[in-house]
Amino acid sequence: MPAVVKSGDTLSRIARDAGTTVAELVALNPEITDPNLIRPGQEIRLPADAAPDEAAPAVPAPGEAPVDPEQATMDELVARFPLAATLMALDPELASIVENAAREDWAADLLEQRLRGSEWWRSRSDAQRQFDIEEQSDPASVQAQIAAVKAELGTKIGQFGVVVDDAELDALARDTVRSGYSETQVNAVLLAPDRETTGSGTVDVIRDGLGDIAQAYLVDVAPDVLERRAFDIQAGRDTREGFRLWAENQAMSAYGGNAGLVAALERGLTVEDWADPYRQLAARELELPSTGVSLADPKFRDAILSDGLSLGEFRQRIREDDRFGWSETVAARDEAFGLVSSLLEGFGKIA
């Protein structure tokens, strides 16, 4: 006699009452494509020798161990929710929730609700929960991730020139993977103000980077100032962004009369960025490689930065100011030859 699904029933509960398993019921009822989806009024075919609420407990075959009903129920729960066993191994509170879910045949949404309300869940971020689950279910994969991050941290430590012992390195590598630390967060740990340094490594790298920033804003910075700022950054007392803002302010003060440049700086461009179209124009007009037009050259620096010329005005300045040497270019000579030819034609000197 088939079982008729009532409101609140689950296939697991019907199987338990009938003394069978979910897998056997699914086999007897091929129309069930998802064991978690049955509807009230639906008829569920049962094994011929079992009926709801009346089935005798299964008798093991000779030589087989007796079937533990609670274990069978737990096995069915694990089959429906593969993470159940992992969660039970992670935390006693989670284990209790999963055991109750198996014993009382909770629906999936109720199990999820109880898990989300646990202290284990609420005290961890998404990244930390994922890490803890993966560490329990696939520890080799997690250890490989930690080892890769540890190697990257070792490279950083060498570049920064800081002292980090093995125990701290192991902990930082694990925390970086578990909590999903960003590069900024990792650097903040390695360059903490009280961190011991080796006196070599990162200072050179940082100093060179600060020099590039100063060059981009055309700000002259003494070598000892760059060195001091690099140490401050290494020790966590300053940042590259702080230095960049300082360089930007210096450029605004130096070229405040050039409204176009100031507006560009306010939009986040560097002086080099803003001046690049002028440099490209000068290179074309003077038939030079782009590297041949340097803002360190006073004639270019004054015309582009100090005088605030438009591109058209700058082109005219290049052609009229003998300091730029435009008259010696092939284009200038061709233009002069064309002008002479036109004049001669006008006077009938050229047929």
pLDDT of residue 64: 47
In sequence order, what are the residues at sequence separation of 6 or more whose Cβ sits closer than 8 angstroms to the Cβ of residue 271?
216, 217, 218, 251, 255, 261, 265, 295, 305
Mean pLDDT by 10 residues, the chain (351 residues): 82 79 82 80 78 45 46 55 77 86 80 90 90 90 95 88 90 94 83 67 78 92 86 80 95 90 92 91 88 87 85 92 89 65 54 49
pLDDT of residue 80: 59
Give 70-91 pLDDT, tens digit per residue: 554 555 655 556 677 788 888 8
Count the Cβ atoms, other than its own, within 10 Å of residue 334: 10
pLDDT of residue 345: 58
pLDDT of residue 58: 47
Alpha carbon distance 191, 162 (integer Å): 8
* Distances, alpha carbon 245 to alpha carbons 111, 160, 213, 220, 234, in Å: 52, 23, 10, 15, 18
pLDDT of residue 51: 45
* Domain residue extents for the chain: 69-123, 202-254, 273-341
Give 211-264 pLDDT, tens digit per residue: 999 999 999 999 888 878 887 887 778 889 999 999 999 999 998 888 889 999
pLDDT of residue 57: 47
Alpha carbon distance 323, 298 (integer Å): 11
pLDDT of residue 170: 95
Alpha carbon distance 56, 272 (integer Å): 87
* Distances, alpha carbon 213 to alpha carbons 246, 247, 249, in Å: 10, 8, 13
pTM of the model: 0.42
